[in-house]
Amino acid sequence: MKIAVCVKQVPNSQDKGMDFQTGNLDRKILGVTTNPYDLVAVETALRVKEHLTDSRLDVFTMGPTRAEKTIRECYALGADGGYLISDKAFSGSDVLATAYTIAKSIEGVDDYDLIICGKQTTDGDTGQVGASISVRLDIPYIGNVVEIVKVNQDYVIVKQDLGTKVQTVKCPLPCLMAVEKDIYVPRLASLKLKIQAKKKEVFPLRFNDNYDQNSIGAKGSPTKVRKVYTKKVTEKSNVLNVSVKDAKKIIYDGLGIKNDEK
């Protein structure tokens, strides 16, 4: 089975890296880490790989050149191949343009049987990229996966948490599924794989004729940021230790309500 996992390098903090002119994060000045939800997706893929012999696991990440670190982290966990989608032409992509770019990249590498994504990313939090990729690839999408009941070369049976109930779904392959964060606990990298990860090749994917230039980057992003502002922090106030009667009076006076009104 050929498995692809979408991973992303995300900022450690969003408060100090915002470009208020463009509405984009300035990732050059932010600390970065691998999206924790995506590490769960990698763990899910590794377990499928271990269950099915002769399986291959590739990871795809879209970002600047330093995102190569995330791919090597996945190598250290057991991934076989890693593809870095990185080009200035892809900068400024929203959910739609990102999904298009990743889908075209995956499509250009191989015909994968199973694509796995994390629930969401900690920087955008839209939770829409996985579903959008499946639409671009014209394959079924299964979201909110909390358990893999069965998987083979032809289909998967999973449980979905729909909020009010959990339902079991059987889906033919190929398909894309987004897993919940509690489905598995990500494993720790072994020393042997860490050493091997430093030597493994990371395959770059850059803009070429396979991508429609009107569907990528800022040009292909219909979402526009109209205004960006910092949150206002309330100044520390004194705590009053008063009776219930006096507290009611203070509240009523502040709201302009007569004390005898309820």
Q: Which domains does the chain have, with CATH numbers?
A: 2-205 (3.40.50.620)
pLDDT attached to residue 225: 75
pLDDT attached to residue 237: 75
Residues 6+ apart with CB under 8 A from 256: none
pTM above 0.85, yes or no: no
What amino acid occupies position 139? I
Taking phi over 0 as left and psi of -120 to 50 as alpha, with beta for the rest, 166 belongs to beta
Distance (Å, whole) CA 136 – CA 103: 6
pLDDT attached to residue 70: 97
Beta carbons of 115 and 4 less than 8 angstroms apart? yes
DSSP string over the chain: -EEEEEE-EEES-SSS-EETTTTEE-GGGS-EEE-HHHHHHHHHHHHHHHHSTT-EEEEEEES-GGGHHHHHHHHHHT-SEEEEE--GGGTT--HHHHHHHHHHHHHHH---SEEEEES--TTT----HHHHHHHHHT--EEEEEEEEEEE-SSEEEEEEE-SS-EEEEEEESSEEEEE-TTS-PPPPPPHHHHHHHHHS--EEE---TTS-TTSSTTTT---------PPPPPPP-PPP---HHHHHHHHHHHHT--TT--
* Long-range contacts of residues 193-196, Cβ cutoff 8 Å, at least 24 apart: 193/75, 193/76, 193/77, 193/78, 194/76, 196/75, 196/76
- Closest to 109 measured CA to CA, from 64, 155, 50, 57: 57
pLDDT attached to residue 19: 60
Q: What is the pLDDT along the chain (262 residues), one digit of tens a residue?
A: 999 999 999 987 655 555 656 656 665 656 789 999 999 999 999 999 999 989 999 999 999 999 999 999 999 999 999 999 999 999 999 999 999 999 999 999 999 999 999 999 988 778 899 999 999 999 999 999 999 999 999 999 999 999 999 999 999 999 999 999 999 999 999 999 999 999 999 999 999 999 999 999 999 999 877 777 677 777 777 788 889 888 888 888 888 887 665 4
Mutual angle of helices 95-109 and 129-137, in 10-degree steps: 50
Q: Can you read off the two tokens belonging to residue 178?
A: 């987004």
pLDDT attached to residue 242: 87
By DSSP bridging, strand 81-85 and strand 114-118 are: unpaired
Q: Given the structure tokens 């033919």, which residue do they identify? A: 172
